[in-house]
Structure 1
Amino acid sequence: MVAQTTDTALDALHALTGRPDSTFREHQHEAIDDLVRDRARVLCVQRTGWGKSAVYFVATRLLRDAGSGPTLIVSPLLALMRNQIAAAERLGLRAHTINSTNRDDWDAVRRMLADDAVDLLLISPERLNNPSFREEMLPLFAQRVGLLVIDEAHCVSDWGHDFRPDYRRVRDMLAALPEGVAVLCTTATANDRVVADVLEQLDASGAAGAGTRPELRTYRGPLARTSLRLEVVELAHPAERLAWLVQELGPAGSLQGSGIVYTLTKRDASAVADFLVAHDIAAEAYSGEHANEDRVAAEDRLLRGDVKALVATSALGMGYDKPDLGFVVHYQAPGSVISYYQQVGRAGRAVDHADAVLLRGAEDRRIQDFFIEQAFPAKERVDQVLLQLDAAGETGLTTRELSSIVNLGLGRLEAMLKVLDVEGAVRRDGTRWTLVRDHGWRYDAERYRAVTELRRAEQAAMARYGADGRCLMRTLQEQLDDPDPRDCGRCAICTEPRFQLELDPALVRAAQLHLRSQPLVLDAKKMAPDPQGKMRKIPETAQVEPGRGLARIGDPGWWPAIASGLRDGRLDDEVLGALADLVRAWRPAAAWVTWVPSRAHGKALADAAQRLGAALGLPVVEAVARTVPDAPPQRDMANAAQQVANVRGRFRVAADVPAGGCLLLDDQRLSGWTLAMVGGQLRGRGAASVWPLALASAL
């Protein structure tokens, strides 16, 4: 091996940064030396902005100059990949990505590897879980790679705040590496438990055929961010938080430059962005459901300062790098202090001052609970999946076929199967899943229970953040097991609050109206699962029209008043007036009104239908009856196959159907299948059209 001098590494650093006066930060050069000279396995746990990418870029340049193979980086987000490629080019490195958007480039990558025409390959962790990719590409990487980098390595551990099952495949990659291949793991958000888990996996996966375990080295630095000023503002109602954002992001506000406003859900991101835009603040919503090219364009606009704020879910997190980002505001609190540290770390990288403000709301706990409770399916659900795959034999089952038997949402079912695949219990073959015979896998109830307890403890720590009188930066450091936590002398606890402003009552009223003025379009069902879970086209003569909903369940607009009215057995006049106004603006071709009889809210719904008909001047007909009064609640059904099966045979048309179109009222649209199937029955009995109308919708 060729020893690399400090001067050579410095030259590479200068080329990377574009600054001839750049110097290495503490531990950077040591880590590079370990990788290049000793080909060690290194874990760097360093604060956001420390320069973890500089370590693997400089190491790559030096290793390539010494004749080693290319670097392979497992990177979680496309945003990171784009930034990495631009940085690599400054060092003269030829970089290429393999991710979900360019999977057809595999043949080109093979040729580049064969011709030694690529210096740095970036792959998304999802590629690691593709069977053909693992079989065809990973052996090739193992033969050629000179450095393997696992970026955001905390994702490997289910103790981490952002565990991703795809990262479990990293163990397979490590085990396949020959002796003499350096490995670097990097993260800013790993506490002692996560560090121990990552090190265990590094240690357990020794070089293939080497006979000895590679040496492990860890560099852990202080996590305090001296440029960040932290503050918590308690604003329970979303309308108050919207008003606060307009006041602070507007021309007279204190938050300078451009930044990120984080929300817990994509619908909150849209609602916040729309309100900011309505008040002449350049803002844009950003979530994982936006098309990749739209996310790229939004990130670029924030980089250029063309928008004041991106209003984003956690999809804008790891890897996004705007060095002069001036602020990060949280519209709601995330589920852990560690997640919060990771997100506020986007700000203040290359400026002396940036603000991080947490606007804690009343709904935070409810949303956090949802994510915690969705993490691990119950043992009986997992056993049911394995039993069905066992019975299916080599033919296997698709996810949809399993969904007709197992009461889990398709997303959770896919996630469960992915974990079972990674852990060797099942195997994916195209679109079908089969059981691995004699797999030896067992449901680790104790570990899942312990991880859930940890999530609850993290949630409790987040609730105490800013409420217990302790320095906010020190609290973040201690949650991450920083070896040297100290009071920062900058936060609102160490100094004084700056953002506890008096809200403009007119803005608060406008925000409340905004939250109430967004009726929902309810998509019409065109396909439905048969009893085996296979999707079939619904005949046009049985289809309903696209519908409307007055509110989203749990949202702060109309939902509180709707929920109160349903509990009390009568909606108040303000809600009924809003419902009638919605229908007038919508103008469906409806000549009469009926409703879906509700087991829980039958009195309130029947009364609402009668009053709505009177307000619209339409006759009201009690056309639908329940045939099974004690059927399980639709909210307990987790996927389309289960939901359709639960509705099938539960209702009947119990009266003559008038001519013309029908306005079909329901209390809560949870899946859409009750309205679709009852509407189909009404169509079958002669209704010219059916227009679904829900007081509130979960979708």
Structure 2
Amino acid sequence: MKQIPYFFLILPTAAGKTTLFLLGASLFPDQVTILVIPLISLKLDLHDKAKALGLQPTVWEPYMGYRELPPQSRMILVQIEHVVHPKFYEMAEHLTSLKRLSRVIWDECHLIPLSQSYRPIMRRAWHALAIRAPMVFASATLPSHLQRELIDMLQLPNRLCKTYRAGTTLKHMAYRVQSLPKSLRQPDYPGYLIQFIKQFESSYKPFGQRDRARVIIFCRSKALVDSLFEALGPYAARFHASLADDDKLTQLARFRGDTLLLVATSGIGAGYDFPDVDLVIHFMPGAYEMTNLCRNQGGLVDPLIV
């Protein structure tokens, strides 16, 4: 609310970053918040949240100038690839001239330095800093060294940057690294993972009204996602960047419904909000192996396997 020029907001998972964005957009009906988003799936998730609150969000596309912007929209969601488009800057400048642009939020900003090697747009994102509005850089996973790299990439003046950094430890989460057996081969991966999940379920159930855990398995390659999905059959949904958009939505809907297992790459998106996930497995054969976020008596444990 103080309109700090460049504000870094580092809060742990489930600590309320999205709530703050939506609250800020809700307080001033005549103002607009621009939300810059690095992942398509996250854009869809945030759009649904803003729409449910009556913020009439607009997903901005490059064909849209300020004349195509719905006048009642209070939140504009922009994919990070589009921030260098001339029409985006034109639209933002128009809102600024009307004194309607409240702030620009860069969600999951840690992905800017982390993905610059394979997403060239990240090295050009600094062009959007020409917009004359306060900017908020939000993340749950932005360590100090990565923050310094981000500041350098975006050419931000240090004297105008302020930071609020909370601890990242949550009492209802637990983490574990587990080494995979050296004898484990790819045909055995599905059986190993099913057994791992069953052991978790026997230790931590019940899971609300369910006897089985809701599980996400992250893989480093689309090929591994497809292989596990085929082996697990109707019991799993999948998500990766090469799926058609309709198929992505279908798979996400399945996982939000009765399907309790999702196999995905990181294309699902940092920050995507799945309710009631009990276990997250980062399955990394040949690298760091597995960590498991469990549950304790205090409630849900958001499993993380690294």
Would you say same fold, with TM above 0.5?
yes
Aligned-residue offset at 1:75? 0.5
- Aligned residue identity for 1:356: P
The answer for the alignment partner of 1:154 in structure 2 is 110
Aligned-residue offset at 1:334? 9.0
Q: Deviations over 1:100-157 (max 9, x none)?
A: xxx55x15x63326xx32111111112235xxxx222313213413211111111222
User: Matches of residues 17-56 of structure 1 in structure 2 within 5 Å?
Assistant: 36-56=1-21
User: Matches of residues 311-322 of structure 1 in structure 2 within 5 Å?
Assistant: 311-322=263-274
Please give the alpha-carbon distance, in whole angstroms, between the structure 2 residues aligned to 1:37 and 1:321. 28
SS in 2 for 1:184: strand
Question: Is 1:284 equivalent to 2:226 in the alignment?
Answer: no
The answer for the alignment partner of 1:293 in structure 2 is 246
Please give the alpha-carbon distance, in whole angstroms, between the structure 2 residues aligned to 1:265 and 1:249. 21
Q: Deviations over 1:523-561 (max 9, x none)?
A: xxxxxxxxxxxxxxxxxxxxxxxxxxxxxxxxxxxxxxx
Of residues 221, 234, 238, the one that matches 2:166 is: 221
Please give the alpha-carbon distance, in whole angstroms, between the structure 2 residues aligned to 1:96 and 1:335. 41
- Aligned residue identity for 1:119: R
Please give the alpha-carbon distance, in whole angstroms, between the structure 2 residues aligned to 1:151 and 1:136. 21
SS in 2 for 1:320: coil
Say if 1:296 and 1:335 are closer, same or farther in 2 by CA, change over 3 A: farther
Please give the alpha-carbon distance, in whole angstroms, between the structure 2 residues aligned to 1:47 and 1:266. 28
Question: Is 1:77 equivalent to 2:77 in the alignment?
Answer: no
> Which protein has the larger Cα radius of gyration, Structure 1 or Structure 2?
1
- Aligned residue identity for 2:237: E
Residue identity (%):
20
Aligned-residue offset at 1:171? 1.2
Residue pair 2:123, 2:153 contacting (<8 A) in 1 also = no
Please give the alpha-carbon distance, in whole angstroms, between the structure 1 residues aligned to 2:282 and 2:69. 44
Residue pair 2:107, 2:138 contacting (<8 A) in 1 also = yes
Of residues 112, 115, 127, the one that matches 1:172 is: 127
SS in 1 for 2:110: helix
Please give the alpha-carbon distance, in whole angstroms, between the structure 1 residues aligned to 2:10 and 2:151. 12
Please give the alpha-carbon distance, in whole angstroms, between the structure 2 residues aligned to 1:357 and 1:41. 31
The answer for the alignment partner of 1:235 in structure 2 is 181
User: Matches of residues 673-692 of structure 1 in structure 2 within 5 Å?
Assistant: none
Q: Deviations over 1:468-509 (max 9, x none)?
A: xxxxxxxxxxxxxxxxxxxxxxxxxxxxxxxxxxxxxxxxxx
The answer for the alignment partner of 2:83 in structure 1 is 128
- Aligned residue identity for 2:219: T
Please give the alpha-carbon distance, in whole angstroms, between the structure 1 residues aligned to 2:145 and 2:232. 40
The answer for the alignment partner of 1:352 in structure 2 is 299
The answer for the alignment partner of 2:59 in structure 1 is 97
SS in 1 for 2:58: strand
Please give the alpha-carbon distance, in whole angstroms, between the structure 2 residues aligned to 1:96 and 1:128. 15
Please give the alpha-carbon distance, in whole angstroms, between the structure 2 residues aligned to 1:268 and 1:201. 33
Aligned-residue offset at 1:265? 1.3
Residue pair 1:41, 1:214 contacting (<8 A) in 2 also = no
Please give the alpha-carbon distance, in whole angstroms, between the structure 2 residues aligned to 1:296 and 1:83. 11
Aligned-residue offset at 1:218? 0.3
Question: Is 1:111 equivalent to 2:68 in the alignment?
Answer: yes
Please give the alpha-carbon distance, in whole angstroms, between the structure 2 residues aligned to 1:77 and 1:162. 14
Question: Is 1:275 equivalent to 2:240 in the alignment?
Answer: no
Residue pair 1:112, 1:118 contacting (<8 A) in 2 also = yes
Of residues 139, 150, 157, the one that matches 1:187 is: 139
Please give the alpha-carbon distance, in whole angstroms, between the structure 2 residues aligned to 1:355 and 1:57. 23
Please give the alpha-carbon distance, in whole angstroms, between the structure 1 residues aligned to 2:92 and 2:131. 9
Ranked by relative contact order (alpha carbons within 8 Å, sequence separation 6 or more), the top structure is: 2
Please give the alpha-carbon distance, in whole angstroms, between the structure 2 residues aligned to 1:79 and 1:47. 20
TM-score, length basis structure 2: 0.81
SS in 1 for 2:44: helix
Please give the alpha-carbon distance, in whole angstroms, between the structure 1 residues aligned to 2:13 and 2:123. 24
Q: Deviations over 1:207-242 (max 9, x none)?
A: xxxxxx873210111111322233314223134432
Say if 1:61 and 1:309 are closer, same or farther in 2 by CA, change over 3 A: same
Of residues 252, 257, 267, the one that matches 2:213 is: 257
Please give the alpha-carbon distance, in whole angstroms, between the structure 2 residues aligned to 1:246 and 1:356. 16
Q: Deviations over 1:437-470 (max 9, x none)?
A: xxxxxxxxxxxxxxxxxxxxxxxxx7xxxxxxxx
Residue pair 1:79, 1:319 contacting (<8 A) in 2 also = no
SS in 1 for 2:170: coil
Residue pair 1:143, 1:177 contacting (<8 A) in 2 also = no
Residue pair 1:235, 1:241 contacting (<8 A) in 2 also = no
The answer for the alignment partner of 2:256 in structure 1 is 303
Please give the alpha-carbon distance, in whole angstroms, between the structure 2 residues aligned to 1:250 and 1:188. 30
Say if 1:81 and 1:40 are closer, same or farther in 2 by CA, change over 3 A: same
- Aligned residue identity for 2:93: A
The answer for the alignment partner of 2:209 in structure 1 is none
Please give the alpha-carbon distance, in whole angstroms, between the structure 2 residues aligned to 1:329 and 1:167. 28
Q: Deviations over 1:268-288 (max 9, x none)?
A: 1121122222xxx61123211
The answer for the alignment partner of 1:332 in structure 2 is 284
Q: Deviations over 1:637-656 (max 9, x none)?
A: xxxxxxxxxxxxxxxxxxxx
Residue pair 1:156, 1:198 contacting (<8 A) in 2 also = yes
Bigger fraction of residues in helix: 1
